Homo-oligomer: A and B are copies of this chain.
Amino acid sequence: MTSDYINALLKKEVKRTPIWVMRQAGRYLPEYRSTRKKAGDFLSLCKSSELACEVTLQPLERFDLDAAILFSDILTIPDAMGLGLYFLEGEGPRFLKPLSNLSDIERLTKPDVGGKLTYVFDAVSTIKKNLKNTVPLIGFSGSPWTLATYMVEGGSSKSFSKVKALMFQNPHHMNQLLDILADTVIDYLNAQIEAGADSVMIFDTWGGLLNKQCYENFSLRYMAKIVDGLHRNYDGKTIPVTLFTKGGSAWLEKIAASGCDGIGLDWTIELGEAERRVGQQVALQGNLDPSVLYATPEVIVSEVNKVLNQFKGETGHVFNLGHGITPDVNPENMKILVDAVHAYSKTN
């Protein structure tokens, strides 16, 4: 398999700018909603390797995408640590047993991912088999800091006051928690690579809520530890690693220095500026505002072209949205987006 997606991340020659889309398997697709209904609830969908495979492949049947991404949840690791992940309809994730005091953190140990998270690796190998080497498969994990925010807050949060109080007040315990999480993420992503993932991505959804010093000490440091511990060459393949800190565009130089291959960008930075700052060192993924998908075909094509025009290199750009595609987007508009990226690459 020759893949523009892998080649772009490794800054090798590409035939055209590759594209995949965060949450490309998701609620905006009627066939996803139907599989999810069959599964019963969201977690059952994640835990069935057959159904996770089914939804992972759905967008590839509709659109000319250059990569598949494992369908799973970012909170599988805390669930495997015994926190009891559950979902309330329309309310986001919750934990039955969040980390509510320092002794909860002291008692925490690295789980045996091989035993507890087999369903994830089974999904990876099932998807990999069904992809038949058409496009590469991306594995992923939440970043230690992002996992920790959910584990301490007990779910989604607006002010993140509990986890930030812990960070400012008990940095030692915070670091202990993040260390265990980083070690677990290493095991988790390496097992995904062993099961067939061709590339991995770390989602640091909440790193952008930190100040620069805290970002370096409590988020980036642990992502760099993970980058360092991953299989970067496996089974004859080079496995690229992409880091995505939403709201992290101020710190691109620091992120690039982690040793990652690619950096995911949200739309608040211009791709051209990011390329000037770190494009010599790393590949860049992004960065169209997902809201553009609510506009007409003409506007979508014009906004796609604006992003593509900004990138000057011959390779090193993976087109994506700056955040996940939203549930109420018309799938037709996703097709216009994907085709626009490929059409541009043909004529420019």
Contacts and interface: CB of A to CB of B under 8 A. Distances in A.
A10 to B, nearest CB: 28
A324 B94 CA distance: 26
B168 A328 contact: no
A294 B161 contact: yes
Interface stretch (A126-134, A232-240, A264-272, A339-347): A264-272
Given A211-B268, A270-B211, A299-B168, A291 B161 contact: yes
A331 interface: no
Contacts of A209: 268
Contact of A291 (B168, B208, B291): B168
Nearest to A211: B267
Interface string A175-213: 000000000000000000000000000000000111111
Contacts of A291: 159-161, 164-165, 167-168
Interface string A143-187: 000000000000000011100110111000000000000000000
Contacts of A292: 164, 168
A295 interface: yes
Given A268-B212, A270-B211, A270-B212, A294 B250 contact: no
Q: How often does this chain occur in the complex, in copies? A: 2
A284 to B, nearest CB: 15
Given A159-B326, A249-B250, A250-B249, A295 B165 contact: yes
The A contact surface, by secondary structure, is helix
Contacts of A247: 247, 268
B249 A289 contact: no
A304 to B, nearest CB: 12
13 contacts: A159-B290, A161-B291, A164-B292, A165-B291, A169-B294, A169-B296, A208-B268, A210-B289, A211-B268, A212-B268, A214-B289, A250-B250, A250-B269
Interface of A: 159-161, 164-165, 167-169, 208-214, 247, 249-250, 267-270, 289-292, 294-296, 299, 303, 306, 326, 328
